[in-house]
Amino acid sequence: MILIDKNTTYISPEAQIAEDVVIYPNNNIIGNTVIGKGTVIMPNCIITDSIIGENAKVTAAVMEEARVGDNTTVGPFAYLRKGACIGNHCRIGDFVEIKNSVIGDYTKASHLAYVGDVTIGERCNVGCGVIFVNYDGKKKHRSTVEDNCFIGSNCNIIAPVTLRANSYIAAGTTVTDETPNDSFVIGRSRQIVKESKTSRY
């Protein structure tokens, strides 16, 4: 283990860290955390009772009872809550919150998304502003996204619902019903243009 600054880093005595892990300053590694070889922990992380695979990179993120696979990048400013299980070669970017969800290999959620109570397959894209709407006011519900799905920016996925393999969800769509395989789904109001009306508003 390469510890850049021991004076600004806390590591729990229960933690298991491979020899060639690099830990930058201002990190807290708490509880029974396990970090695999070749992984880099950049500054300003709080990692609690979590498992991080090999050759991963975590930057300015909070992880609580979460799992991250090999060759996956997390952060900056990502929040992986209890039950977040991220596969290999994934990208979890800035301001992405993941709770009680499974993310398949090579899937990306690059920024500004809430991923709660969902199983997402491999090679999927979760666009900016996507929300998995899991709470109806009384109960939490779970959704499924199969392999090779593309979810465009600012989509709402209303649980419980299934997106079948190779579905393409256009930006701004709210999904409430199961999508067939290889489907293009668009559900947004039509744009209306009123020319020369700006002065009225």
111 in catalytic set: yes
Cβ neighbours for 199, distance < 8 A, ≥ 6 positions apart: none
Which parts of 3-161 fold into alpha helices (H)? none
Catalytic residue among 21, 111, 148, 159: 111
The dihedral formed by the CA atoms of 142, 147, 152 and 156, expressed in degrees to the nearest 10 = -10
Backbone torsion region of residue 196, taken as left when φ is above 0, otherwise alpha when ψ lies between -120 and 50, otherwise beta: left
Return d(Cα 138, Cα 148) in angstroms, integer.
32
Active site residues: 111
